[in-house]
Amino acid sequence: MAESVPCRGDVTWTDPSCPVARTLDLVGDRWSLLIVRDAMDGARAFTDFQQRTGIARNILTDRLRRLVERGILDRETAASGRRQVYTLTQGGRDLFAVVVALRQWGERHAFAPDEHHSELVDEHGFALAELRPTNSLGTPVDSSTTSVRRN
């Protein structure tokens, strides 16, 4: 069972009953997802995130604070005692499939056919299989074969 993401009272839900809207309220801005992406790729320190993203210091400070407050990142003092380091919480690690889905969509739709881009590979150097949602029987589904049930 995934851990729940604790949130402070400063989050205003765009659509309180929609999981997609709530997720976007928590991590939906460009910088937050790029910070999560880089944390998945080994970034830990403020300077790591700043160098990888090119984000302005004030915006990075704000996004790191929000991601900690919202339970996506943990912050602790480094062994040296001189800086803070950030690690993904279980909730942050659970965003891996989201980042992979965005990456795969981008590979299909955001690049020209002959345009070069980075590639996510597994521990053996092979490209990941395309993420595809399936139903409870393992049959592929899409927006024409699913619906939202309102509780």
Q: Each residue's pLDDT tens digit in the chain (151 positions)? A: 444 445 555 678 888 889 999 999 999 899 999 999 999 999 999 999 999 999 999 999 999 999 999 999 999 999 999 999 999 999 999 999 999 999 999 999 999 999 999 999 999 999 999 999 999 999 999 999 999 998 7
Task: Report the C-alpha gap between 88 and 74 in whole angstroms.
Answer: 6
Task: Report the C-alpha gap between 85 and 69 in whole angstroms.
Answer: 15
E strand or H helix at 73: strand 73-77
What are the structural domain ranges in the chain? 19-110
The count of C-alpha atoms lying within 13 angstroms of the C-alpha of 78, restricted to the half-sphere facing its C-beta, is 9
Name the nearest CA neighbour of 37 among 103, 131, 127.
Answer: 103
Looking at domain 19-110, which CATH architecture does it have?
Answer: Orthogonal Bundle (1.10)
| pTM (predicted TM-score) | 0.86
